[in-house]
Amino acid sequence: MSSSLRRGAVAAAAIAFSIASLASCAAGNNAETHQIRPDNAAATVGDIMVQNATIVTQPDLESTGPAIVAATIFNNGTKDQTLDSVVVDGVDKKAELTAAQGNGPLTIPAGGRLIVGGEDNASAVLPSSRTSVLDGNAQAVTFTFSRTGDVKLDTLVVPAAGYFKKWGPSDMPSAPASNSPSPESSETAGEGSGAPADGAQGEADGAEAGH
């Protein structure tokens, strides 16, 4: 093969590779766009890694109930640490922290993890703040730890629907109770999990019993 033909073949191969690379990138970007879930905020400072940080609001836009901050926190160090505070930019109060067992500090054991948000896990509850925490926003959240100090990252705000329903606030406001609920309806409401469907069913049962 002559040198000119060889040069032409090399050039053609280079062009084909470039086009394939661009097509691959375009396809990759589109694929990622369709697969993005707003639960991927992550940051690492020292021994602490915060992953899947998300602010989850009430599913009803008219609700003034609390929101929560959900995250999984890893401690890659050799000493336990505690999560001392969670602050969301634009919210004038710190999140109320509660351990999974109901009292005591939120501890991230050495070499272990702490899950914040979701049933039977620790919680970080924000006060009623619909005006300062808006669905679709990316708001800075600062996690403060006993040894590492502050870990700050931008966190998306999503409603407690679909994938995020199980991570959302457990203290969902229910419809107003009947003026004269029957004992059966009161007992049913007390045993509910706090989910809107359970509360609504309890009230419906109470209404039927009242009639």
DSSP-derived secondary structure for 64-108: ---EEEEEEEEE-SSS-EEEEEEEETT-SSPPEEE-TTSSS-EEE
Residues 102 and 186 reside in one and the same domain: no
* Average pLDDT of the chain to the nearest whole number: 71
d(CA 107, CA 128): 26
Cβ contact 174:200 at 8 Å: yes
Lowest-confidence segment of 17-26, 28-37, 85-94, 96-105 by average pLDDT: 28-37
The domain that contains 79 carries what CATH number? 2.60.40.1890
pTM of the model: 0.60
pLDDT confidence of residue 31: 37
> Model confidence at 4, in pLDDT bands (50, 70, 90)?
low
Regarding whether 117 and 93 lie in a shared domain, the answer is yes
Residue 57, judged by CB atoms within 10 A of its CB (0-12, 13-18, 19+), counts as buried
Contact 73, 44 (CB under 8 A): no
| Residue 90 sits in the same domain as residue 185 | no
Q: Are 54 and 156 in a shared domain?
A: yes
Domain that holds residue 185: 173-203
Distance CA 96, CA 81 (A): 18
Query: Which is higher by pLDDT, 165 or 9?
Result: 165
Say what the pLDDT of residue 107 is.
98
Q: Count of domains in the chain?
A: 3
Residues 6+ apart with CB under 8 A from 160: 56, 57, 58, 59, 167, 168, 169, 172
52 and 91 within one domain: yes
Report whether pLDDT(100) > 70: yes
